Structure 1
Amino acid sequence: MKTELVLHDQQFTLHRYPKRASETLQAWDAGDEYVINHFIETPLPLGSKVLILNDNFGALSCWFSHEHHVYLQTDSLVSQKGAQQNLLLNQCNEITLLHSTDAMPNDIDAVIMQLPKSNRFLTWQLHQLKTHLNPETPVVAVNKANAIHTSTLKLFEKHLGETRTSLAWKKHRLVFSQVGDQATPIVDEKTTWDVPEHNMQLNNLANVYSGESLDLGARFILEHLPQGSKHKNIIDLGCGNGVLSVKLGRNNPLSTITSVDESFMAVESARMNVTANVDNPERYTFLANNCLEDFKKDSYDLVVCNPPFHQQNTVTDHIAWQMFCDAHNVLETAGELLVVGNGHLGYLAKLTRLFGKGRVSVVASNKKFVILSAKKAS
């Protein structure tokens, strides 16, 4: 696995975050290289203010910080930490870090965007570009060629203006657009929908997973969450829009609950939904974090988890494994990890290896999902 990006007489050492000894994935891809090549051929004026959206681990931020004032906006705390790690490692100039929930700066000279997986999030970002930037500000976006569809280009045209694409290079393509002065549709910052069987109304910011209906795993585990406040300190790990946090709070009115996600929009959505759906939200803590990094050891008695199986556009199970390991670390003796996942993912074997033989049991299962309980030994 390469860690050295060498291009146009510059060299950067780049790692994904968190850095793993057995890492098999690069911290950049050919799309990053294509963007850099484009700006070598058509350079920006020295000292330009460049807004970079969705830089996965900071490769573009490192490169452009050498000659420009860089603003990096991302919804991912992991991506943000990766960028910070790589900027420091390569002794790059300082950049300005922005959360996805922050307003975009107004005086930007150029925008570079790695296209997000979610069209809802892309639509929101394009709307924000149109709202905050001056007309004729150039926008250059990149993604794998097979992920740039006619519908993608129509979104750019609808919300920005005239749009064209490059030729494909190493299976990637660039999208060229600019902020226009024509009227464009208003985009709501959130979607709102009901979960009538649980008497909830949920608000979801643009990049929250399953933002228009309950995902099936969450729907299944909602019926099997503990109640009665026997657990005093609970973590909803990978909280998403906070639907499990809401149900945990209703079921356990005396418990304190910490809602954790690496997505800034997810954490803010969870905060909104708990506030709207739970009587005493002051007992909650909402935190953007890399799993349970830096949480106090042996200090919680229940962790509930509906793990993701991808990081940005990469399918991987290392995030679930990190969640399980971190949960084991923060649980007190006899503390419980409650997990829902697709049956084919093999979580039973993974949790047994971590918690020990006889410490993991099946709470419930259906044709697609299994709910597992793992209890920490003394």
Structure 2
Amino acid sequence: MTTATLDAPAGPLTLARPGEGDASLRAWDAADELLLQEAFARLEPSRQPRVLVIDDQFGALTLGLQPFQPDLVADSATLPAALADNAGLNPGLASLPEVRSWRTPPDARYDAVVLRIPRHADYLAWLLRWVNDVLAEDGLLLAGGMIKHLPDRGVDVFAQAVTTDTVCPARKKARVIVCRPGTAELADWSGTWKGYSPEQESFEVSALPAVFARDKLDIGTRLFLPRVRSAVAAVAPGARVLDLACGNGVVGMVALSARPDLALTFSDVSSQAIVSAERNVEAAFADSDCTFDHADGVAAGAGRFDLILLNPPFHEGGVVGDHIALRLFARAARHLAPGGRLLMVGNRHLGYHRSLRRFFPQVRQLDANPKFVVLEAATKR
């Protein structure tokens, strides 16, 4: 873990990006720098404005805004550990705020909201409408992101939801937009939930905007589901099964449809995914034995599983590769019971058959098409 210094308006911060990836990647970017500069230019700590930070990445915004004692909400379960680690590198900071998620969002009125603009337009549209509900009448929204990661139709999304005061000049390939609350509300927006009915199943799934493939079954999962049905047919009665990186929960729900007796755990790094999966399971399998964990991988104390089902994401914060899958493989290996199996689908070009052999003694291919491959990895008995 490599540290670097961010020259924040309230003083320098030593920050580190978690993980064992590219050492050149920092725990902040130019968008964080610009957001902090705009916040201190427009807000006065002595007036004690109530400030909310949304979707901070590794703690740069939260720690940089410490003179304002901000509240914090984030979709990703990776933030609490990253924030705690970076706070530890900077002795003397005030106490850290609780990291709220979309499972239990803050319920307050704010003078200012500082927002990292997400990559996906639907999630941005949802966030802006949610912000309208929590901003004071004369409140301020500071929204920033790296220009290459801003969503398509972003200008229209802002125009439909909030009142834009200032589009700040681009600096270091980043941009900040200063807004006032608009009249658009979540209650009036049809885009909050989108879904579909999986083939061969009687249930429906729907999801909130931050969830991958929320309005149609992605092609990798389409290849995966027949193998899921075969795998759960072979496990013992009441077996413990984990739908890891569950998204809307469709994989685990197909497992439950085939074997209602299973003890199913749904886990995802996105709180909107967990909210979605819990809603879907409650609608279709209300009497099932299910647990829902908002966690970066397998939740602490989750125990061991007889079968883990996984369709790993391959991008995180603009960084694309197999680093997320490797982290999930390592955690899956530690949480499989003796003789347990990991069943996964992934992009063929990422070579997961080689990666899995770093963690599992047995790996075999079960299915493939030109883009995706289904692999099974097993532990020793």
How many Å separate the matches in 2 of 1:364 and 1:182?
A: 46
Q: Aligned residue for 1:86?
A: 86
Q: Aligned match of 1:319 in 297, 317, 324?
A: 324
Corresponding residue of 1:243: 250
Bigger mean CA offset, 84-93 vs 197-206:
84-93
Task: Tell me which residue corresponds to 2:144.
Answer: 142
Contact 1:135 1:180 in 2 (8 A): no
User: Please, which moves more after superposition, 271-280 or 26-35?
Assistant: 271-280
Is the 1:127–1:159 contact (alpha carbons within 8 Å) kept by the matching residues of 2? yes
Partner SS for 2:206: strand
- Are the structure 2 counterparts of residues 122 and 21 from structure 1 closer, same or farther at C-alpha, using a change threshold of 3 Å? closer
Q: 3-state SS of the aligned residue for 1:241?
A: coil
Q: Does 1:371 align with 2:374?
A: yes
The answer for the alignment partner of 2:341 in structure 1 is 336
Change (3 A) 1:219 1:44: farther
Confirm or deny: 8 A CA contact 1:229 1:255 kept in the other structure.
no
| Closer/same/farther in 2, CA of residues 254 and 107 from structure 1, 3 Å limit | closer
After superposition, give the CA deviation of every residue in 1:7-48 in whole Å (9 maximum; x if it has no partner): 44722222234x448744211111111122223444434222
Report percent identity of matched pairs: 27
Q: Cα 1:135–1:150, aligned 2, differ >3 Å: closer, same or farther?
A: farther
What SS class does the counterpart of residue 78 from structure 2 fall into?
Answer: helix
Structure 1 pair 103/374, CA: closer, same or farther in 2 (3 Å)?
closer
| Range moving further from structure 2, 322-331 or 101-110 | 101-110
Shift of the 361–147 alpha-carbon distance from structure 1 to 2, 3 Å rule, reads closer
Displacement of 1:218 after TM fit?
Answer: 1.3
> 1:195: how far off?
2.4
Judging changes above 3 Å, is the alpha-carbon distance between structure 1 residues 157 and 306 closer, same or farther for their aligned structure 2 residues? same
Check 1:303–1:73 CA distance in 2 against 1; reply closer, same or farther (3 A cut).
same
Structure-2 residue corresponding to 1:202: 205
**One-letter amino acid of the counterpart of residue 300, structure 2:** D
**1:108 matched to which residue of 2?**
110
**For residues 314-341 of structure 1, what are the alpha-carbon distances to aligned partners after superposition, in whole Å with 9 as ceiling and x for unaligned?**
2232110011111111112221111100
- Tell me if the contact between 1:190 and 1:206 (Cα under 8 Å) persists in the aligned partners: yes
Residue in 2 aligned with 1:218?
221
Q: CA deviation at 1:134?
A: 2.2
Q: Aligned partners of 1:264 and 1:7: how far apart in 2?
A: 29
Moved more, 106-115 or 52-61: 106-115
Partner Cα separation in structure 1 for residue 108 and residue 317 of structure 2: 27
CA separation of 1:103 and 1:333: change in aligned 2, threshold 3 A: closer
Distance 1:129 1:364, change over 3 A: same
Q: Using the TM superposition, name which of 249-258 and 22-31 deviates more.
A: 22-31
Q: Which moved more, 1:324-333 or 1:236-245?
A: 324-333
Residue identity in the other structure for 2:214: G
Which is further off, 301-310 or 41-50? 41-50
Indicate if the aligned counterparts of 2:278 and 2:292 stay in contact, CA closer than 8 A: yes
Contact 1:241 1:267 (C-alpha < 8 Å) held by counterparts? yes
1:130 corresponds to: 132
Is the 1:235–1:303 contact (alpha carbons within 8 Å) kept by the matching residues of 2?
A: yes
Whether the 8 Å CA contact 2:118–2:150 is kept in 1: the answer is no
What is the TM-score when the length of structure 1 is the normalising length?
Answer: 0.91
Could you say which residue in structure 1 is the equivalent of 2:68? 68
CA–CA separation in structure 2 for the residues paired with 1:150 and 1:24:
28
CA apart distance, 1:295: 4.2
Alignment partners' CA distance in 1, 2:64 and 2:159: 28
Contact 1:157 1:163 in 2 (8 A): no
| Length-normalised TM-score, structure 2 | 0.90
Residues 295-321 of structure 1 deviation map (CA, whole Å, 9 limit, x = unaligned): 466x22111110001113222321100
**Correspondence for 2:173:** 171
CA distance in 1, matches of 2:299, 2:204: 31
Q: Does 1:308 align with 2:313?
A: yes
User: 2:50: which partner in 1?
Assistant: 49
Is the contact made by 2:132 and 2:184 (CA closer than 8 Å) also made in structure 1? no
Unaligned runs of 5+ in 2: none
5+ unaligned residues in a row in structure 1: which ranges?
none
* Cα drift, residue 105 of structure 1: 3.7
Q: 1:351 to 1:148 in 2, by over 3 A?
A: closer
Residue 26 of structure 2 aligns with which residue? 26
User: What pairs with 1:251-290 in structure 2 (closer than 5 Å)?
Assistant: 251-278=258-285, 280-281=287-288, 283-290=289-296
Quote the Cα distance in structure 1 between the aligned partners of 2:281 and 2:196.
Answer: 15
Which residue type is aligned with residue 82 of structure 2? Answer: G
Structure 2 counterpart of 1:157, from 159, 163, 175: 159
Equivalent pairs, count: 372
C-alpha separation in 1, matches of 2:274 and 2:39: 35
Counterpart CA distance in 2 for 1:339 and 1:262 is 17
Q: Offset at 1:97?
A: 2.6
Q: Please tell me the residue identity of whatever aligns with 1:289.
A: A
CA–CA distance in structure 2, aligned partners of residues 145 and 25 of structure 1:
17
Indicate yes or no: 2:194 matched with 1:191: yes
Whole-angstrom distance in 2 between the partners of 1:296 and 1:96: 22
Tell me: CA distance 1:5–1:155, structure 2 relative to 1, closer, same or farther (3 Å): same
> Is 1:345 the counterpart of 2:350 in the alignment?
yes
